[in-house]
Structure 1
Amino acid sequence: MELFDTSKSILQEIRLDPGKFRNVRLLVKRDDLIHPEVSGNKWRKLKYNIELAEYQKKDGILTFGGAYSNHLLAVAAACVSAGLKSIGVVRGEELNSESNENLKRCSELGMELKFVSRESYDERNEKSCQEGWKEAHPHFLLVPEGGANYYGMVGCQEIWKELSEKVDHVFVAQGTTTTSCGLLIGSAENTVLHVVPALKGFDSEAEMRKQLFPFLIDEETIDDYMRRVEVHPEAHFGGYGKWTPDLLDFISSCKNAYDLPLDKIYTGKAFHALMEWLKQQDFNIPQTILFIHTGGLKNGGV
C-alpha cells in the first residue's frame, strides 16, 4: 500500500559549526515527509493497527482525540487509503465538525465524529468505558489515543531498519511514550535514547516501564533498557500546548538555517533540548546524533 511507503523519509544532515560543536555529526530522520496527513510517528503507530483491522475483517477503526488532534486526522486519512471506516471520539461536547479546520478535514475524509464531555473523555481508558465502546461498535478495532499500544510500538521500532548509520545518541519528542519505547527496543545496546516530554511533570520513566512490560515482561530486562534512557524534563516551555516567543524564534531560525520545519507542540521543543544539550558537550571522539522528526506540522506548525 502506498500509504505505508517510507521512501520519502530521508535522512537529512544538519551542518553545524565545527568550531562550536566538536566531533558532532547531526542527522534528522524526516518522518514528517512520509505523508501530508499521516506523517511522522502517526504513520508508524498506525501501520500495524491498520493491518490488524484488515486481518480481523473489521469495518474500521474507532479512536480518541482532542479538537486539534493530529492522531484523529491521521486515522481518518489512513482509513480512507485502506478502504476502512473511522470513528473519532472527540473531547468536548460543545464542539462539532465545523469547529475548526482539523475536525472539518476529519469529517471530509469520512470520519464519524462523536463529541463527548470532558468527564466522559477522561474515562476513555477505563475498562468499563472500553467495553462500552466495543459493545456499541463491535465491527470496529479500538485504538487508544495516539496509537499508544503494542502495535504502535512495533511500528516505531521499524525506524531502525531504515538506517545504516551507527547512532550514538537519539533524541525524540515524547507524548504517550509509544514512539520512544519502540525506538528503545530497536536500538543498539550502546545507543543512548534522549526523550523530551511535551507534558509538564510527566513521569517518563514510569510511563515507559508500563508500555515496555508487554514487550519485555520481566523487570530486570526493563531495567537494562531503561539505563540507556536520558530524560530532559524541563524542555516543555510551560507545558503541553504552551510555547514562548523564544521557542517560536528558535523554530524560525531552524527553518532558515537548516531548512528544517518544526512544530511548537513537540518537535520544536525536542530539537531545542538537543541543541542546548550539545552546547554542554565536548566529545573527544566523533559522535553521531540522530533526531527523529515525528511530524505534527499540520496542527502545530509555525
Structure 2
Amino acid sequence: MLFDTRKSILQEIRDEELSARGIRLLVKRDDLIHPEVSGNKWRKLRYIVEHFKQSRNERMLTFGGAYSNHLLATASVCHQLKIPAIGIVRGEELSAKANPVLTRCRELGMHLHFVTRDEYALRGMKEYHEELILEFPNSYIVPEGGANYYGMIGCQELINELPAFDHLFVAQGTAATSCGLLLGIHAQQLHVVPSIKQYDSKKEMSLLFSKSGFEMDLIEELLNSVCVHGDYHFGGYAKVTDELIDFIDDCEKKYQLPLDKVYTSKAFYGLMQEIKQPTYNHSTIVFLHTGGLFLSH
C-alpha cells in the first residue's frame, strides 16, 4: 500500500459534560495518513489508481478549484508513482503561483490547465471529456473529488477500522466519501454536514449511486440511514467567520484536534451543536477527520 492507513488513529475527545450524559466521542484521524494525501483523499484514490494501472492510459486528468485538496493529493500520488498528471483548474485568472496548493501541485509535476468557470461547469459531461481527450490524449479521467465507484469503495473500507458505534459524522463535498461510508454501515446513522450552501446532499448521493449502477430501490433504502445537517456552512463554501476561527482555535487547545477551515471545522462544529440534543445520550459517536490541513502547516 502506497500510504499506510494504520497511521489513522482513534482519538477520544475527553469532555466531562459528554461523559456525564454517557456519550463517547471518537475522532478517526485520517488526517494523519499523509500531509498531502491525507484523510479521505487516499481512500478515494487508492482503487482509482489500481484501475488506472489496468488501463492503457498514460496519464491521469482530474478537476479542482483553486484550493483543491483533491488536486494536491492526486499530484502527490502521481508524483510518487511517476504518473504524468493534469489538473483542470476552475478560474482562468489563476496561475500556478496563485496559492500554496497550486504551487505545490506544479512542484510535484502536475500540468495545470486553467479554464473559465463556465467551461469548468461542463466537467461531468461526456462530450467535454471527449474534447479533453483530444487535447490531452491517452488520459484517464478522474472525477472531481474522486467521486466515482472506485472512490466510494475505498471509503467503504474505513468502516472496518471503527469500533462499535451509533452515529458517524462526516463533512460532505462531492458526496463520494459519504456514499462509501453509507455502503459500509449496518443499522447505524450517518450524519453528513455539507460545506456548500443549499447543497442537496441526498440528491447528490443518489446521483452518484445511480451513476455507479445501483438500483433506485436500494438507493432509497440506503438514504434512509442518512441525516443531513445543512445549516453549518458558515455562509458557503470556503466562507469563514470569526466564530469559526475561534472554534478552530478552541479545539486545538482543548482537544489537541487540528481542523481545516473549509470542511472539518464546520462539520465538527455541527456535531458539537447537534449532540446537545438528548437523543444522543448513551451513545458512541465517531467523527471522521477528512484531512485538508495542508494550508495550516
Whether the TM-score (by the shorter chain) exceeds 0.5 is yes
Question: Which range moves more in the overlay, 51-60 or 6-15?
Answer: 51-60
Which deviates more from structure 2 when the two are superposed, residues 223-232 or residues 54-63?
54-63
Q: Provide the aligned length of Structure 1 versus Structure 2.
A: 297
Residue 171 (str. 1) matches residue 156 (str. 2): no
Deviation string, structure 1 residues 184-219 (Cα, Å, up to 9, x no partner): 01111x200000010111111111111122456222
Q: Distance in 2 between matches of 1:64 and 1:45?
A: 14
2:233 pairs with 225, 233, 236, which one?
236
Residue 239 of structure 2 corresponds to residue 206 of structure 1: no
Q: Out of 227, 244, 261, which is 2:224 matched to?
A: 227
Letter in 2 for 1:186: G
1:112-164 deviations in Å (ceiling 9; x for gaps): 1111122211222222111111233332210011111111101111101222x
Please tell me whether the aligned partners of residues 18 and 24 of structure 2 are also in contact (alpha carbons under 8 angstroms): no
Who is 2:60 aligned against?
Answer: 61
Q: Does 1:105 align with 2:104?
A: yes
Deviation of 1:83 after TM superposition, in Å, equals 2.0
Q: CA deviation at 1:21?
A: 5.0
1:78 maps to amino acid: V
Contact 2:30 2:291 in 1 (8 A): yes
Letter in 2 for 1:277: E
Q: Contact 2:61–2:141 at 8 Å: present in 1 too?
A: yes
Cα 1:266/1:53, change in 2 over 3 Å = same
2-structure distance, mates of 1:266, 1:219: 29
Aligned to 1:186: 184
What residue in structure 2 maps to residue 81 of structure 1?
Answer: 80
Aligned to 2:41: 42
- Following superposition, the deviation at residue 282 of structure 1 comes to 5.0
Residue correspondence of structure 1 range 127-138 to structure 2 within 5 A = 127-138=126-137
Q: Is this contact kept in 2: 1:156–1:179, CA < 8 A? A: yes
- Give the superposed CA RMSD: 1.6
Return the offset for 1:20: 6.9
Q: Match for residue 286 of structure 2?
A: 290
Give distance in 1, aligned partners of 2:212 and 2:18. 43
User: For 1:103 and 1:79, how far apart are their aligned partners in 2?
Assistant: 15
Find the aligned partners of 2:255 and 2:249 in 1 and give their Cα distance: 10
One-letter code aligned to 1:295 = G
Deviations 1:41-100, CA, capped at 9 Å, x for gaps: 111111111111111143221011112111111100011112211001111222222222
> Is the 1:15–1:258 Cα contact (8 Å) retained in structure 2?
yes
1:255 matched to 2:262: no
2-side partners of 1:147 and 1:272: how far apart? Answer: 25
1:228 CA drift (Å): 0.9
SS of 2:123 mapped into structure 1? coil
Greater shift after overlay, 210-219 or 108-117?
210-219
TM-score normalised by structure 1 residue count: 0.94
Question: What are structure 2's unaligned runs of at least 5 residues?
Answer: none
One-letter code aligned to 2:59: G
How many angstroms apart in 2 are the aligned matches of 1:108 and 1:95?
16
